[in-house]
Amino acid sequence: MARRDEGFFSSKDGTRLFWRSVGPDGPATAMVGVVHGYGDHSGRYVHTLDALADRGFSTLALDYRGHGKADGKRADVIKWDDYLDDMNVFWGRVREAAGAAPCFALGHSHGALIVTHWLARRPEGLKGAVLTSPYYKLAFEPPALKLFGAKLIKGLLPGLEIGNELKPEQLSRDPAWQKSTAEDPLYLHVTTPRWFFEHTAAQDRLAGLGASITQPLLMLHGTSDPIASRPAARAFFDTVASADKTWKEYVDFRHELLNETGKEEVVGDISQWISAHR
């Protein structure tokens, strides 16, 4: 039977963050730190954590600021580096919980963008990273009127909540998962001007960052992802300096690979890659 736990911890600036863990019934062969996407939270990854535990891996999943059960204004961030501070403190907990087991990072979408910037800082104790549907660029152009409005109010009301354009059916082909997402009280359907401009600046700073990433890397993307640009992800992947890097695409998969019809294949690929890099 899997071992489960959850709790809170504080980031560098005192913001209270949330974590949940799942471990195998026995010694873990690896520890995986899981970082969710934007508007997302760790509770939507429980089935993934369970599947990894079934394969002998322990997991520790984060709710970063403004998301899930963590504190902070919903869907907002004061500055991009706040996310990296969250990641640094979280990674310390991952390493502590791992004991002697090797440690890996798994980031999805916006979480993958956070992990990418963090990788470039060459964190200690990391055996490799898995990035699913990395959000390096939108797969569509945001409405011009909404973008113009965001620029106008950025200086006046930077934390104003604005509805985003994403729909549950863009995340997965699975109708049950679409329904679950629509009914999830912790899943966010808003954004803020401040977050928008902070994350787009972070995307712009990806240029040249690949040369600083030397850790083993597995990058996964769906061919029908309507949210995160697959060409942008592939272009960045090609710049990564790591001598050990793997790119894989899943035909017809949408944005949330781990919540898609056929997600078992994705979990299997991730598990095999981690096992090969322990």
Per-residue model confidence (pLDDT) at position 147: 62
Query: What is the phi/psi pair of residue 108, to 5°?
Result: -115, 135
CATH number at residue 114: 3.40.50.1820
Strands (E), the chain: 3-10, 16-23, 30-35, 57-63, 103-108, 128-132, 162-163, 190-191, 217-222, 245-250
On whether residue 81 sits in a domain, the answer given is yes
Q: Total structural domains in the chain?
A: 1
Per-residue model confidence (pLDDT) at position 159: 83
On whether residue 114 sits in a domain, the answer given is yes
Per-residue model confidence (pLDDT) at position 152: 63
pLDDT in tens, 20-62: 999 999 999 999 999 999 999 999 999 999 999 999 999 999 9
pTM comes to 0.96
Q: How far apart are CA 100 and CA 90, in angstroms?
A: 17
On whether residue 155 sits in a domain, the answer given is no
Per-residue model confidence (pLDDT) at position 160: 86
On whether residue 214 sits in a domain, the answer given is yes
Mean pLDDT of the chain: 95
Domain extent for 136: 3-140+198-276
